[in-house]
Amino acid sequence: MAGKTIVITGASDGIGREAARALHAQGHTVIPVGRNRERTAQIAREVGARVHLADFADLTSVRELADDLLTQYDRIDVLANNAGGIFGKVRESTIDGHEMTFQVNYLAPFLLTQLLMERLIASTATIINTSSVGARLFGQLDIDDLDNERSFSATRAYGTAKLEQILHVKELDRRYRAQGISAVAFHPGNIATSFSNAPSSPMRLIYQTPLKKLFLTSIPKGADTLVYLAEGASGRDYAPGEYYVKRKPARTHAQADDPTLARELFERSKRILGL
């Protein structure tokens, strides 16, 4: 169905930018959101959109983004929470006092989703979270240590944040499906993008050196499932509350199937954010 209004975060680069181009070409109104002003302005010009900037390492910036989106757009048919990344080997805190990986990959998208929720419900919207196979490979959620203070590794923090993105989808489906919300998560693949460009990132060897030609797939292939879910219809093209790889339901971490954990994560996230 053409004519959707689609917000994509992390749209200044990688699969977000590629998905923005593809969805615009299909006749949708695409609203790209990015952190880098120059690159975000470039994709905004390509798709004929306003420039929307947000730094997910600053929750005030996320709140300002939500206010701007609510002011500018009467409908939001799709919210693609695509921004994220893996950071350095040393634990780093944001200006808000949270561990960087947790906030950028999970907490900030959670906040944006909740701030837009009334508009999303009114639009019977689809919420898409960009997760990762890293959730199954590296993730392990300790509900009492969301900020990774007791023990930290960059890969575990990343995998856990991507697991939290799947749990977020599960709980969104439970809470809001009856109000018309469709929520779904997906893994784009190991994509040759600027992902993991921090000099101390443990994955930089693969993502930011010639080795990426051996291990990584193309950006258009990575964007394919995001485009498919954004254009698709819940119940027809995908099952809400599920996790997808290459347009198909896929196995992920066992914790993703724990409804009590999903509910507790949602409630604790609200308390952390004062919602």
How far is the C-alpha of 15 from the C-alpha of 60, rounded, in Å?
A: 25
Q: How many angstroms separate the CA atoms of 76 and 70, rounded?
A: 9
Query: Among 73, 106, 158, 238, which one carries the catalytic annotation?
Result: 158
Active site residue 158: yes
What is the separation, in whole angstroms, between the first and last Cα of the chain? 34
Measured at the CA of 135, the angle between CA 219 and CA 80, to 5 degrees, comes to 50
* Identity at 63, one-letter amino acid code: R
Q: How many Å is the maximal CA-CA distance in the chain?
A: 48
Q: Is beta strand 78-81 parallel, antiparallel or unpaired with respect to 243-245?
A: unpaired
DSSP string, 69-130: HHHH-S--SEEEE-------SS--B-TTSSBHHHIIIIIHHHHHHHHTHHHHHHTT-EEEEE
Could you give the residue numbers annotated as active site? 158
